Amino acid sequence: MKIQGKVWKFGNDIDTDVIIPARYLNISDPKILAQHCMEPIRPNFSSLVDKGDIIVAGKNFGCGSSREHAPLAIKTCGIQVVIAKSFARIFFRNALNIGLWVFEIPELYNLTKEGDRMIIDLKKGFIEHHTTKEKFTIPQYPAFLQQIINSGGLISYLLKNHRRK
């Protein structure tokens, strides 16, 4: 599977209250959540994102409270991959649980500007940075995690593969 899109760049310590402000946590509709993604620092972010776009962020992306609303808002607004220097562990796991690809590739941050374009080849395991022409190896997840993400998340995976008989 290949993902191609433009980069949206964010700094260090982007917390879940920035990704989706707490006042929207009583909303369960992913489309409405997506409308408010990154609202505190980038109003109208979701209306500017194209399906397939990529977030490149600094360290500790997704810190703060544990909420699946944050990766769900990111994914639903069209972002297909988040690449960061590092992630808060609970955000990382929540992202996988809802089917959002996340990769820690620290060296990519300083080489990337907002608006750059990238191709991510998940099958072959690399990122091609169109602007710099450099290639980066992406970490390979175990097969079961790849199946969960490709199914659209943990719930979808379980419904497809583990129905009671």
Per-residue model confidence (pLDDT) at position 66: 83
Query: Using the 8-state DSSP alphabet, how is residue 20 labeled?
Result: S
Per-residue model confidence (pLDDT) at position 115: 95
Per-residue model confidence (pLDDT) at position 13: 97
How many Cβ atoms from other residues are within 10 Å of residue 9's Cβ?
15
How many Cβ atoms from other residues are within 10 Å of residue 45's Cβ?
22
Per-residue model confidence (pLDDT) at position 148: 83
Give the pair of three-digit tokens for residue 139: 């970490």
How many Cβ atoms from other residues are within 10 Å of residue 32's Cβ?
12
For 122-142, b/e burial (b = at least 16 CB within 10 A) is: beeeebbbeeeeeebebeebe
Render each residue's pLDDT in the chain as its tens digit; 165 residues.
899 999 999 999 999 999 999 999 999 899 999 999 999 999 999 999 999 999 999 999 999 988 889 999 999 999 999 999 999 999 999 999 999 999 999 999 999 999 999 999 998 999 999 888 899 999 888 888 888 888 887 878 788 887 665
